Amino acid sequence: MSRDTNEAGERYLLFPTAFGTCGIAWRDGGLTRLQLPERDVSATERRLADRATPAQAEEEPPWVQWAIVALQRYFAGRAIDFSSILIDLDRCSPFHQRIYAALREIGYGKTTTYGALAAEVGSPDAARAIGQAMGRNPVPIIIPCHRVLASGGRTGGFSAPGGATTKERLLELEGVRRSTTPPLLALLEQPRS
């Protein structure tokens, strides 16, 4: 694991997962960033180093250690509930915080749509704003923006490294089966004209 401290108190470290090397940053109030694997480890680290400094050996608090273990288990294919992991959203607008709170309610292996999420947060005409908020999500996976689909079951965008391909991999990892065609049995049961 890479590990130093900056004036703002934000620290980061890198850790291995079955998907590749991830990075995590935190302050005393909670996690501030989760960086999914980039094309190489140095690129992953550069994304975190712009606002935080590497943590010193054994500097991460127990709740950060737990978050790392939970993420490693998640990427290994285990169903993990991240709702108890502390996150620090002080840099996010109140609207984004409402969206992120609603996203955290979407359980493992479940999905919703941009429109449904907009209605959930009381802004039914804000599906586009929902997408923008998810594009700025500082802690993907823990705030599970990958579980939000476009209408008709389409994947929709994903701003993390790998884009929609990464989103598809995460949904597949969670056992989400998506299909825009009806199941064969439903086709067989349709009345003939």
Mark 30-61 as b/e (b = at least 16 C-beta within 10 Å): bbbbbbbbbeeeeebbebbbeebbbbeeeebe
pLDDT of residue 193: 45
| Helix, strand and coil in the chain, % to nearest 5 | 35, 15, 45
Provide the pLDDT confidence category of residue 8 given band limits of 50, 70 and 90: low
What is the distance between the alpha carbons of residues 63 and 24, in angstroms, rounded to a whole number?
12
Known catalytic residues? 145
The length of the chain in residues reads 193
94-173: CATH architecture: Orthogonal Bundle (1.10)
Asked if pLDDT for residue 183 goes beyond 50, the answer is no
* Token couple for 85: 């992991």
What is the distance between the alpha carbons of residues 83 and 163, in angstroms, rounded to a whole number?
24
Q: What's the pLDDT tens digit per position in 74-85? A: 999 999 999 999
Of 18-22, 112-116, 124-128, 161-165, where does the model show the most confidence? 18-22
Q: Give pTM, 2 decimals.
A: 0.84
Q: What's the pLDDT tens digit per position in 96-122? A: 999 999 999 999 999 999 889 999 998
How confident is the prediction for the chain on average, in pLDDT?
86
Q: Which of 126, 165, 131 is nearest to 148 (CA)?
A: 131
Q: Where are the domains positioned within the chain?
A: 11-75, 94-173
What is the distance between the alpha carbons of residues 151 and 170, in angstroms, rounded to a whole number?
19
Q: Which of 87-96, 125-134, 149-158, 178-187 has the lowest mean pLDDT?
A: 178-187
